[in-house]
Amino acid sequence: MKLTAKDLLQLKVVDAIVPEPEGGAHKDPEGAIRNIKEALLKTLEELKGLSPEALYQDRYRRFRALGAYAEP
């Protein structure tokens, strides 16, 4: 089925792709942890200004759109 991280990003299933360190996470777990931490902190910073209702509505719209398609 060839679903890559880029495919999921394009389909809006994920918000971002967290890069792996050179050689993969198994070779540099500390680097992987740093990358995840940076991504989480950035996302939390973006979300902290939103009200609970805005977060709810955004999540609702997002999940309702998953799997939707337009006919050509």
Q: What are the C-alpha distances in Å from 49 to residues 42, 45, 53?
A: 12, 8, 12
pLDDT on residue 2: 81
CB distance 28 to 22 below 8 Å:
yes
Q: Of the candidates 71, 19, 58, 65, which has an alpha carbon nearest to the alpha carbon of residue 42?
A: 19
pTM of the model as a whole: 0.75
Number of alpha carbons in the 13 Å side-chain half-sphere of residue 72: 0
Angle among Cα 8, 14, 62 to the nearest 5 degrees reads 110
Q: For the chain, what are the domain ranges?
A: 20-72
**Least confident range of 13-17, 48-52, 53-57, 62-66:** 62-66
